[in-house]
């Protein structure tokens, strides 16, 4: 991979990063603490850049720093709770209430 670039990222790369982050549904804190998870995230992000015709490569540090900047500036948006997130399952009413009138 190339060493860190000086200056700003191209706008399209930032948009792809934000989109990849929202699709992943994993907080920046979890991503940066879990190296394997971050590796998978990076593969997906770099694949999306490559499919868009770009040839840029970013280091883990560059992506982590950019995600942190976007988070602090409020540009990442809030993640929605995902039904498949086993760490934080949705609370649901028991189905028994549906049969009370029968």
Say how far apart CA 10 and CA 28 lie, in whole Å: 21
Please state the domain extents for the chain. Answer: 11-76
**Which helix (H) or strand (E) segment is 50 a member of?**
helix 35-51
Q: Tens-digit pLDDT profile for the chain (102 aa)?
A: 444 454 689 999 999 999 999 999 999 999 889 999 999 999 999 999 988 777 778 999 999 999 999 999 999 988 775 544 444 545 544 544 445 554
Check if the beta carbon of residue 50 is closer than 8 Å to that of residue 75.
no
Model-level pTM? 0.70
Say how far apart CA 42 and CA 31 lie, in whole Å: 10
Q: Which residue has the tokens 């991503």?
A: 31
**Token pair recorded at residue 76:** 């990442």
């Amino acid at each position: 991979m190339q060493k860190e670039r000086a200056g700003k990222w191209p706008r399209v790369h930032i948009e792809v990063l934000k989109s990849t982050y929202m699709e992943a549904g994993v907080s920046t804190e979890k991503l940066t603490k879990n190296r394997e998870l971050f590796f998978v995230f990076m593969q997906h992000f770099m694949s999306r850049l490559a499919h868009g015709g770009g040839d840029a490569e970013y280091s883990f540090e560059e992506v982590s720093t950019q995600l942190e900047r976007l988070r602090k500036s409020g540009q990442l948006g809030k993640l929605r709770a995902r039904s498949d997130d086993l760490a934080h399952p949705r609370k649901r009413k028991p189905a028994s209430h549906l049969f009370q009138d029968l």
